Amino acid sequence: MRRCTQLLFLMWIIFYTIPHTHAASIDCTARSIHVDLHGCNLSGADLGGLNLSGANLSDTILTGANLAGTDLQNAILTGATSGGIIGLPHALPITPASIKRVLFIGNSYTAVNNLPTIFGSIIKNSGNPVPVITAVTPGGQTFKGHLTYAATQAAINAGNWDVVVLQDQSQEPAFAEIDAQSRTNMVQSAAELCRRIRLKSPNARIFFYETWARHPYYWANNQPHSEGANPTEMQARLRKWYGAVAQANHATVAVVGDAWEYHYSSLNPTRLHASDNSHPVYAGSYLAGLIFYGKIYGVTLPTITWNGSLSASVAQQMQTTAAYTLAATTATGLPHGWHLQNGYLLGPGANLTGADLGNLDLAGIDLSGATLGNVTWHNTICPDGSNSDSHAASCQLAFATQTFTPTPSKTATLTNTATSTKTSSITKTARPTKSNTATKMPKTTTTNTATKTPTP
C-alpha cells in the first residue's frame, strides 16, 4: 500500500506541477512514465484527468474511484475490481508538437499513391508542425517478413520514434480467421514488432493500419475465396484481427477499412479500389490519410482545404466519410475492448465478484476470463444477445463458454459477420518484392516511396 501511495503522489506532483495548457514544447501529460499500480487498493481514489495510458492496473481495487477525464487507453485492467466508478475516462490527445518522428511499416497498400506523403500534406494544411516521416514498404510484405527484413529492422533500431504505423499483408488478417498458421504468424509477429519498437522507442504510440476488403468484383465469378464469402465478411475479419493485435499490444487501430466500408454504403460512392480490385486509387489513399490524421492527432472533424489531386467534390466526400468514421470510433479513454457501464469496468479478465449487472446490455462485450462469482443478473442482455431471465435468470453459462472475440470498431453500418468455416486451402495473391532502403519523407518535401506496386 505504501508503494501505491508513493506512486500516486508522484503522479499527482507530475500532473499538478506542469501547466495544463499543452505548451508547444511540453507534453504536459507526462506520457513517458509507465506507472505500475498492480494490486493497489485505489478504492475512492481521485484519478481524474491523469494519464494512465499504459499503466499496470491489474488486480487493483477501483471501487468508487473518480475516473473523470482519466486516460486508460492502453492500461492493463485484468483482474481489476470496480463498481461505483465516478466520471467517464477520456483519451488525452497527443500534443502535435510532440510528434516529431513517424515511421510507417507496411507494403504496397502504404506505398501506392505515397500515403505517408499525403498524411504529411494533411498535417501541414492543418497548421500543425510536420514531422519527419519515414516509410519501409516492400511489396506484399507481412508482419513476419518485416521481422527479418533489413530495412525494417534498421528503421526500428534507429529509435526515437513518436508514432509507428504497422500494416500487415492485405489478406493475412482475413486468413487468420480460418487458418491457424496465418493467425499465429500475424499475432506473434505483431507482438514481436511491438516489443522491438518499444525497446528502441519506449514512448512510441503504435497504430495498426486496418486495411479494406477487396472490391465486390473480386467475387464476381462466384469462385470461393479464403478471405471470406464477400466484402462484408472479409472486412469483419480484418476488423476483428487488427482489433485483436491492437488490444493484445496496447496499441490503437486506425480504422481505414471501416471508413472504406462506410463510404461504399453511401449513395453513388466514388470508387476507391484500383482496377485490380485490391489497391487504392488516390481517393482511397487520401481517405486513409484523413483517418491517420484524425486518429493520431485526436481530431474527429478534419478541416482540410488541401485536396491533393482530387476535385473539390470528391475531396469533400472523403472528408465527410472520415468525419463520420472518426466520430463513431472516438477513443473512450479505456483499453480496446473495455467498457464502463453502471459504474463497472467490463472487459476480458475483469473481477466482477458480487457485481449487480441487472438491466445492462452486455451483448458483444468480451468478458472471457472474468471472475463472475455472486453476480446479480436481472433482465440482463447476455453476450449472445439473449436475456438472462430466459435461462434461470443468469448469463453465467454464456460467459463461461465465451471465447475471445474482440469488440469491433463501431460504425453505424458495420457488423461482424465473420464465420469460422474452414476452407480447404489458403491462396495469397501477394508476393513480396525487394526494397533495399527505407524511404524518408522530410517535413515539407513530397517524394515517392522506393517500393514498386506489386499484386496486393
pTM of the model: 0.74
pLDDT digit string, tens, across residues 345-370: 999 899 999 999 999 999 888 888 89
Pairing of strands 205-209, 252-254: parallel
Q: How far is CA 126 from CA 180, 235, 238, 294, 440, in A?
A: 43, 30, 30, 11, 21
Q: Residue 268 — left, alpha, or beta (φ > 0 → left; ψ -120 to 50 → alpha)?
A: left
pLDDT digit string, tens, across residues 405-439: 443 333 333 333 333 333 334 555 544 444 444 55
Mean pLDDT, residues 390-404: 71
What share of the chain in percent tops pLDDT 90? Answer: 62
> Residue 387's pLDDT band (boundaries 50, 70, 90)?
very high
Mean pLDDT, residues 174-202: 97
Give the domain range for residue 193: 96-332+428-441
Instruction: Tell which of 51, 66, 92 closes a domain.
Output: 92
For residue 14, the model assigns a pLDDT of 43
Distance separating alpha carbons of residues 100 and 105, to the nearest angstrom: 17
Residues in contact with 301: Cβ distance below 8 Å, sequence separation at least 6, in sequence order: 323, 326, 327
Mean pLDDT, residues 194-219: 96
Distance separating alpha carbons of residues 368 and 239, to the nearest angstrom: 19
Q: Does 128 lie in the same domain as 24?
A: no
Q: What is the mean pLDDT of the chain?
A: 83
Tell me if 432 is assigned to some domain.
Answer: yes
**Do 206 and 252 meet the contact criterion of CB atoms below 8 Å apart?**
yes
For residue 223, the model assigns a pLDDT of 79
Q: Is the pLDDT of residue 158 over 80?
A: yes
Distance separating alpha carbons of residues 269 and 283, to the nearest angstrom: 11
Indicate the residue type of 223. Answer: Q
Tell me if 420 is assigned to some domain.
Answer: no
> Residue 11's pLDDT band (boundaries 50, 70, 90)?
low
**Do 395 and 209 meet the contact criterion of CB atoms below 8 Å apart?**
no
Q: How far is CA 116 from CA 9, 386, 421, in A?
A: 41, 45, 36
Q: Does 16 lie in the same domain as 102?
A: no
Q: Does 188 lie in the same domain as 130?
A: yes
Q: Does 251 lie in the same domain as 133?
A: yes
Tell me if 315 is assigned to some domain.
Answer: yes
Residues in contact with 16: Cβ distance below 8 Å, sequence separation at least 6, in sequence order: none
Tell me if 395 is assigned to some domain.
Answer: no
The candidate with the shortest Cα–Cα distance to 96, out of 180, 175, 22, 199, is 22
> Residue 25's pLDDT band (boundaries 50, 70, 90)?
very low
Rounded to the nearest 10 degrees, the angle between the axes of helix 282-297 and helix 256-264 is 130
| Alpha helix ranges (H) inside 97-230 | 108-111, 115-126, 143-146, 150-158, 172-175, 180-200
Total count of domains within the chain:
2
Distance separating alpha carbons of residues 323 and 259, to the nearest angstrom: 9
Q: Which CATH number goes with the domain that contains 292?
A: 3.40.50.1110
Q: Is the pLDDT of residue 201 over 60?
A: yes
Q: Is the pLDDT of residue 234 over 70?
A: yes
Instruction: Tell which of 67, 92, 117 closes a domain.
Output: 92
Distance separating alpha carbons of residues 386 and 382, to the nearest angstrom: 5
Q: Is the pLDDT of residue 17 over 60?
A: no
Q: Does 139 lie in the same domain as 31?
A: no
Q: Does 135 lie in the same domain as 14?
A: no
Give the strands of the sheet with 252-254, arranged side by side: 252-254, 205-209, 163-166, 101-105, 132-136, 439-441
Q: Does 188 lie in the same domain as 287?
A: yes
Could you report how far apart the first and last alpha carbons of the chain are, in Å? 54
Tell me if 416 is assigned to some domain.
Answer: no
Q: Is the pLDDT of residue 175 over 50?
A: yes
255, three cell numbers: 480504422
> Residue 402's pLDDT band (boundaries 50, 70, 90)?
low
pLDDT digit string, tens, across residues 30-46: 333 468 899 999 999 99
pLDDT digit string, tens, across residues 65-83: 999 999 898 788 999 999 9
**Do 417 and 232 meet the contact criterion of CB atoms below 8 Å apart?**
yes
Instruction: Tell which of 92, 114, 145 closes a domain.
Output: 92
pLDDT digit string, tens, across residues 270-305: 999 999 999 999 999 999 999 999 999 988 887 899
For residue 3, the model assigns a pLDDT of 56
**Do 361 and 117 meet the contact criterion of CB atoms below 8 Å apart?**
no
